[in-house]
Amino acid sequence: MARIKSAEICQKICSLLRQLSSGWRQPKGEINLGVVDDISSQLLELYKVNESLYLVWTVDVIKENSNYVQILKIWDVLPLSEVTNLARNIDISYRSYSVDILRCCKTRCYDGYNSYTNSV
């Protein structure tokens, strides 16, 4: 956010981040990135900040003690025209993930309960 000069846009981004961290999600929108059958097309979420910027994030999984825990991974705030390049980099990042870990990233976890704790 250091490169964003507008205080109003920074405030909108912070508001979105607070909402996301409390569990709120927008209805799934259809934004065509031109990425077909890649990992990012299944995991990437884009939330509109204003007319030209999007908050780009995914759900990721980390191992904490002996449990796997979902986290929100905020990638960037970008114009839609730059999201495709980021999506390619995200695909590279997620290629090393096993099928089970990717499944965990796609599974929606509520209140800390899910079907994959201790099973990956």
Residue-wise pLDDT for 8-51, tens only, equals 999 999 999 999 988 888 877 656 555 545 777 788 899 999 99
Asked if the model's pLDDT at residue 73 lies above 90, the reply is yes
pLDDT number for residue 2? 66
Asked if the model's pLDDT at residue 55 lies above 90, the reply is yes
Instruction: Summarize pLDDT for 87-113 with one digit per residue, the tens.
Output: 888 888 888 888 888 888 887 755 555
Q: Are 108 and 45 spatial neighbours (Cβ–Cβ below 8 Å)?
A: no
Asked if the model's pLDDT at residue 115 lies above 80, the reply is no
Asked if the model's pLDDT at residue 77 lies above 90, the reply is yes
Asked if the model's pLDDT at residue 53 lies above 50, the reply is yes
List, in sequence order, every beta strand (DSSP E) within the chain. Answer: 45-48, 53-64, 67-79
- Give how far Cα 50 sits from Cα of 9, 16, 62, 95, 105, Å: 8, 11, 31, 31, 27
